[in-house]
Every structure is written in structure tokens, then in C-alpha cells.
Amino acid sequence: MITSSLILSAILFVLGTFGVLVRRNAIIIFLCIELQLNAVNVAFVALSRLVGIDGQIFVFFVMTVAAAEAAVGLAIIISIFRHYETVDVDNFNLLKW
């Protein structure tokens, strides 16, 4: 079941990466980043069956950082929306060359 979990984790991570790359809505990009974090969590929990409970504790920290990241990221999205009236990332091209 560990190998199956690692394969599940790989599938979810690739789907999350794909979503980050192809979607334009900033909130969906954030959701896909959360999906990637969850994929990594599955790998950590699966490998904790081989290495010890430290893997589960690392997942706890990942969840905390994900919560902090979601709060700050959504605040940034709200503040961007006030400026541009959209959350489409194609419109934010100030730092593009």
C-alpha cells in the first residue's frame, strides 16, 4: 500500500503542477498549489510507515504553513482585485519581460 500511496501522490502532484501552469484564475492556481501540498502530505504519511512517526509530524507543519500561505495569498488576491477588478493572472504583467 506504500507504493500505491506514492503513485497516488505522484499523480496528484502532476495534476497540481499542470493546473498551476495552465489555469488563469489566480484563486484556482492557489487551489492547485494546495493540491500539490496535499500530494506531498500523502507521500510523507506513506513513508512514515517505513521511517517512523516523524513523517506525520512534518505533515502537521506542512498543514500549518499551508494555512498561513492561504491566508496571506488570499489577502494579496483581494488587494490585487481592488486595483485591477480581475483575478486573471494574464493582466498582471508588470514584472514580465
How many other CB atoms are there within 10 angstroms of residue 55's CB atom? 17
| Neighbouring residues of 11: CB distance < 8 A, sequence distance ≥ 6 | 39
Shortest Cβ 71–other proteins spacing (Å): 4
How many other CB atoms are there within 10 angstroms of residue 10's CB atom? 13
- State yes or no: residue 33 binds other proteins (CB under 8 A): no
Q: Which residues of 57-66 are buried (b: 16+ CB within 10 A; e: fewer)?
A: ebbeeeeeeb
- State yes or no: residue 57 binds other proteins (CB under 8 A): yes
**Residues 67, 84, 93, 97: which binds other proteins (CB under 8 A)?**
67
Between 51 and 95, CB nearer to other proteins? 51
**Residues 6, 40, 91, 92: which binds other proteins (CB under 8 A)?**
6
Shortest Cβ 18–other proteins spacing (Å): 4
Contact 63, 41 (CB under 8 A): yes
**Residues 8, 40, 91, 92: which binds other proteins (CB under 8 A)?**
8
- State yes or no: residue 78 binds other proteins (CB under 8 A): yes
Under DSSP, the state recorded for 38 is H
